[in-house]
């Protein structure tokens, strides 16, 4: 993080064997592609939900299949997870250029709110992304305009090779006062 000072950083915790993580990745990849030229740095943290999910070769294969082009840190011993006191998959943390936590979200959703926070930190005006998927289907851009959509069950089991050893699926949401939202914005200095 020290090397990334001076630019906003979006950290996304995920696991390639949890469907709720997979449904957020099209947004994370789109934000990387859309805002990296404006200064956003996206970093994925792959924290496995079980031993099978932590196998390096399986994670690398998933990264290739998913077409993720931003850096992904492998966290097989959950050290980064514990350092962040993370609560579930997926989770995203948006830091401003000074390293202050600006916004975070546990679980799926709040994509528009996260993108608005990214735009605010970068000082750019642009129409937010539309819906890239739903709870019924998951869309992944494979490049050159080629997109495929499949039901989450097919994505989880057939396309990503889920192991029966890894049956736990977790999504955690946190509300911290104010409106009933799982997204919290913290302005620097507060």
Give the tens place of pLDDT for each residue, 31-80.
999 999 999 999 999 999 998 899 999 999 999 999 999 999 999 999 99
| Paired sense of beta strands 147-150 and 138-141, if any | antiparallel
Q: Is residue 170 part of a domain?
A: yes
190 domain-assigned: no
Residue 26: is its pLDDT beyond 70? yes
Q: Determine, yes or no, domain membership for 103.
A: yes
Please indicate, yes or no, whether the overall pTM of this predicted structure exceeds 0.95: no
Which two structure tokens, joined as six digits, stand for 28? 């994370």
Q: What percent of the chain has pLDDT over 70?
A: 69
The answer to whether residue 53 sits within a structural domain is yes
pLDDT in tens, 117-127: 999 999 999 88
Mean pLDDT for 89-105 is: 95
Query: Distances in Å between the alpha carbon of 138 and those of 6, 25, 52, 102, 151?
Result: 34, 10, 23, 28, 6
Number of domains in the chain: 1
Domain containing 99 equals 2-185
CATH assignment at residue 97: 3.40.30.10
């Amino acid at each position: 993080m020290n090397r990334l000072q001076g630019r906003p950083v979006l950290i996304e915790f995920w696991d390639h064997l949890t469907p709720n993580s997979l449904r957020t990745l099209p947004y994370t990849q789109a934000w990387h592609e859309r805002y990296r030229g404006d200064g956003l740095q996206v970093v994925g943290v792959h924290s496995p939900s079980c031993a099978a999910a932590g196998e390096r070769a399986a994670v690398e294969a998933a990264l290739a299949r998913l077409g993720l082009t931003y850096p992904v840190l492998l966290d097989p011993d959950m050290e980064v997870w514990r350092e962040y006191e993370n609560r579930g998959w997926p989770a995203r943390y948006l830091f401003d250029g000074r390293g202050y936590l600006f916004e975070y979200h546990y679980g799926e959703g709040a994509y528009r709110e996260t993108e608005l926070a990214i735009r605010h930190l970068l000082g750019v005006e642009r129409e937010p992304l539309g819906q890239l998927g739903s709870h019924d289907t998951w869309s992944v851009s494979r490049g050159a305009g080629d997109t495929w959509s499949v039901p989450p069950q097919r994505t989880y089991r057939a396309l990503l090779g889920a192991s029966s050893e890894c049956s736990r699926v977790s999504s955690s949401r946190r509300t911290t006062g104010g409106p009933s939202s799982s997204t919290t914005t913290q302005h620097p200095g507060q």
